[in-house]
Structure formats: structure tokens, C-alpha cells
């Protein structure tokens, strides 16, 4: 007969007590998990949910519902209980020091709407810098425009005082660095894209070469030395054929020019016509759109003066369908910094070209409104 294994009564009692304690702990833990779960279901992160539970703010959070700024507050060590209601009313932005900056802005006396507006007009660093300054006077005047930038505020005020321009013109002009001298302290561009902006404030690196540079078949050009970005060349060939089918004869007179080519061009024109001419009509090396490989100087096969040719009339009405814009029209001389060049066309793609054609704006304005970011 086997000997039965038996625990002593006192041991059994202790085990029962341990079991009950474990069951209680498990129960509490499951309850805790279910609480976290109910908050994550509502859109709060696990990290935020823990703080919400430990600070006994679950009821409050449930009454608010999903709120990204509140979530960020509970995730942040900067969160202040007295500002909870304000957090819920301020529009969330994905910024590292969001809550710390909100606290500072509340303390400076900005309203919730003002703070939402401030946060939307800069990156984390811009907002941090802005929060350090005294409360500003013309917040809504400038920042009701989507494309206004916090970091440019002082320049907006100066420009508007100096020129008397309206807020919209001021913000566009300053964002385009028109408050600076031409060629002064330019932004340096190294990456190719069909919507890149190159002008007297935005220069290409000396060794910048467009992606996909291809030579242009002599059929389309005045000589066999022309080259440009493939995407622009393909678009030009389509436009060329469309024009041809309607009896108009286009020709490329100039296309991609390297930094060194542009240097030579400048020197040639300087020798011929002097400094003034170069300043107005020729871009300095690095500042020419021809270096992007997206620009063409277009002529007519049948006329020496393009602006007076039938081809010019045709291209004005049709270029946008093929992704081209006339880059330096007379009406935008003040914005582009170049005298009118009826022959200079730039590939920007059909979407942008059509918008510019339909809305009568310069590429500079399009860039400032739609393409420029706060990065
Ligand atoms: Zn040109």
C-alpha cells in the first residue's frame, strides 16, 4: 500500500492565505488592465493611461473623450493639473515640447485659440523660441494666414512698417526673402525636384546637376549641344508636337546650363552690355534656373522676335497643359527680380502649371503658399 502524501494542516492554512492574496492581486491587476484598456480604446496611449489612473483623472478624461493634446499632456512630465481644461481646447501638434510650450504660452497670457494658432505656424524649435518672447501685438494680423511663419514675425512687422503693404503681401514677400538684398545670404539648394524654386534668394550648389540629364534631339533645338532633365524634355516634345500639328513651330534655343556655363554667360554679357544689364537680365552662377535642367529658352522657327510671333501667342494659352509656365512675365518683375523674359519657360508639372495659369500668380507666390514648409 502506497503511503499517501499529506501536508500538515498548518501548511495548508498558510497556502490558502497565500492563494487568497494572489487571487486578490490578480483581481486588482486585471481590474487595472481593464481600466487601461478602456482608456486606450478611447484613444489614449498606455503611458498616458497610467498617469490618468494614478492621478485619479479617469472620470475627467471620460467626460472629455478622445483628445490628442490631453493625451500628450498625460504623456508629458510637463503637464500641470491646473491647465487640464486648456489643454483640451488647444489644437494638437506633433511637437516634442508641446506641453511645456503650451504652459509657457498660457502664462504669457495667450488665449487657447491664440495658442492653437501659434503652434500651427512653426516647428517645435520655432514655438520654443517664440514662447520666450513677450506677448506680441499682431498675432492674428499675420498668423491668420496659413503660410505665415513664427520665425519671421519681426521681419513681417519691419517690412509692413517700411513698405505699408497689407499683411498678405508682407507675409509672402518676407517668406520669399524679398526684404533681403538679391544674392544676400541665399538658401542653398542641393536636391532636384520638378517643383524646386531657384531665384535671386535661392541658389543651387556649385556642383548641382539635374537628375536624369539627357541630350535633346536636334529636331527640337537650335543646335545639337542642348540637354535638360528627361521629364522636362519629354514634356517639351509633347508640346512641340501639339504646336506643330496646329502649324506652330517652336525651337529650344537654350536649356541646361552648368554653373560654369552660367559664369561664362555672365562674363560674356558683362563684356558686351555692362554690369547693369547682367544684374537685370542674367542670373549669377548658381542662381540661374537653367542649372536645374527644367528651363528652356524657346523661340519660333518662323520669327526672330518670339514675343511678336504666333508661336508666342500659342504657347501662352497652351504651355500649362504640358506642365510649363512662363517664368518671368512682365507683371511679376517685382516678385521674380527679373525683367520680363517672354522666351523663358519652366517645367513645373501640369498640376502646378495649370493652377498658376488659372489663378494668375507667380511661381514664387505658389511656392510660398503651397510648397514652403516650416522644416
Ligand atoms: Zn532663360
Domain parsing of the chain, residue ranges: 187-371
CA of 183 relative to ligand 1 center, distance in Å = 18
Distance CA 350, CA 318 (A): 11
CA of 282 relative to ligand 1 center, distance in Å = 9
Inter-CA distances, 228 with 213, 252, 272, 338, 341, Å: 5, 11, 27, 22, 19
Q: pLDDT tens for residues 151-175?
A: 999 999 999 999 999 999 999 999 9
Determine the average pLDDT of the residues in 128-135.
96
CA of 358 relative to ligand 1 center, distance in Å = 23
CA of 289 relative to ligand 1 center, distance in Å = 7
Q: Is 34 exposed, middle or buried (0-12, 13-18, 19+ CB in 10 A)?
A: exposed
Across the beta sheet with 250-254, what order do the strands follow?
A: 250-254, 295-300, 341-347, 324-328
The architecture that CATH gives domain 187-371 is 2-Layer Sandwich (3.30)
Q: How much is the pLDDT for 3?
A: 63
Ion ligand 1, residue ranges at CB < 5 A? 297, 344
> Among all chains, which residue has been given the C-alpha cell 485619479?
56
Q: pLDDT tens for residues 173-185?
A: 999 999 999 999 9
Residues 6 or more apart in contact with residue 117 via CB below 8 angstroms? 139, 140, 143, 144
Q: Is 373 exposed, middle or buried (0-12, 13-18, 19+ CB in 10 A)?
A: exposed
Determine the average pLDDT of the residues in 247-256.
97
CA of 281 relative to ligand 1 center, distance in Å = 9
Q: How much is the pLDDT for 374?
A: 64
Q: For residue 325, which of 282, 355, 368 has the smallest C-alpha distance?
A: 355
CA of 214 relative to ligand 1 center, distance in Å = 18
Q: Report the percentage of the chain scoring pLDDT > 70.
A: 98
Determine the average pLDDT of the residues in 121-145.
95
Three-state SS letters, 41-52: HCCCCHHHHHHH
Active site amino acids: 341
Q: pLDDT tens for residues 311-364?
A: 999 999 999 999 999 999 999 998 998 889 999 999 999 999 999 999 999 999
CA of 16 relative to ligand 1 center, distance in Å = 91
Amino acid at each position: 500500500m502506497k503511503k499517501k502524501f499529506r501536508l500538515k494542516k498548518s501548511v495548508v492554512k498558510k497556502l490558502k492565505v497565500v492563494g487568497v492574496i494572489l487571487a486578490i492581486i490578480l483581481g486588482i491587476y486585471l481590474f487595472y488592465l481593464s481600466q487601461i484598456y478602456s482608456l486606450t480604446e478611447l484613444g489614449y496611449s498606455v503611458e498616458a493611461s497610467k498617469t490618468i489612473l494614478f492621478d485619479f483623472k479617469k472620470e475627467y478624461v471620460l467626460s472629455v473623450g478622445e483628445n490628442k493634446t490631453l493625451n500628450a499632456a498625460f504623456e508629458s512630465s510637463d503637464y500641470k493639473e491646473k491647465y487640464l481644461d486648456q489643454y483640451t481646447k488647444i489644437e494638437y501638434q506633433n511637437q516634442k515640447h508641446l506641453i511645456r510650450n503650451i504652459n509657457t504660452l498660457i502664462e504669457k497670457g495667450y488665449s487657447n485659440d491664440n495658442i492653437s494658432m501659434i503652434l500651427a505656424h512653426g516647428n517645435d524649435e520655432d514655438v520654443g523660441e517664440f514662447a520666450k518672447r513677450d506677448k506680441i501685438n499682431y498675432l492674428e494680423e499675420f498668423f491668420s494666414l496659413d503660410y505665415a511663419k513664427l520665425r519671421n514675425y519681426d521681419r513681417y512687422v519691419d517690412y509692413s512698417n517700411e513698405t505699408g503693404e497689407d499683411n498678405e503681401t508682407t507675409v509672402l514677400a518676407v517668406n520669399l526673402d524679398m526684404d533681403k538684398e538679391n544674392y544676400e545670404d541665399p538658401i542653398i539648394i542641393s536636391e532636384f525636384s520638378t517643383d524646386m524654386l531657384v531665384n535671386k534668394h535661392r541658389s543651387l550648389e556649385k556642383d548641382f546637376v539635374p537628375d536624369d540629364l539627357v541630350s535633346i534631339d536636334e529636331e527640337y533645338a537650335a543646335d545639337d549641344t542642348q540637354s535638360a532633365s528627361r521629364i522636362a524634355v519629354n514634356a517639351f516634345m509633347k508640346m512641340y508636337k501639339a504646336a506643330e500639328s496646329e502649324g506652330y513651330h517652336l525651337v529650344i534655343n537654350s536649356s541646361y546650363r552648368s554653373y560654369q556655363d552660367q559664369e561664362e554667360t555672365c562674363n560674356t554679357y558683362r563684356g558686351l552690355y555692362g554690369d547693369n544689364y547682367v544684374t537685370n537680365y542674367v542670373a549669377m552662377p548658381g542662381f540661374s534656373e537653367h542649372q536645374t535642367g527644367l528651363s528652356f529658352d524657346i523661340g519660333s522657327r518662323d520669327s526672330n522676335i518670339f514675343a511678336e510671333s504666333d508661336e508666342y501667342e500659342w504657347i501662352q494659352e497652351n504651355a500649362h497643359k504640358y506642365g510649363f509656365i512662363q517664368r518671368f512675365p512682365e507683371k511679376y518683375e517685382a516678385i521674380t527680380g527679373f525683367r520680363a523674359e517672354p522666351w523663358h519657360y519652366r517645367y513645373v508639372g501640369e498640376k502646378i502649371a495649370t493652377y498658376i495659369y488659372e489663378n494668375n500668380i507667380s511661381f514664387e507666390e505658389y511656392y510660398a503658399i503651397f510648397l514652403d514648409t516650416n522644416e
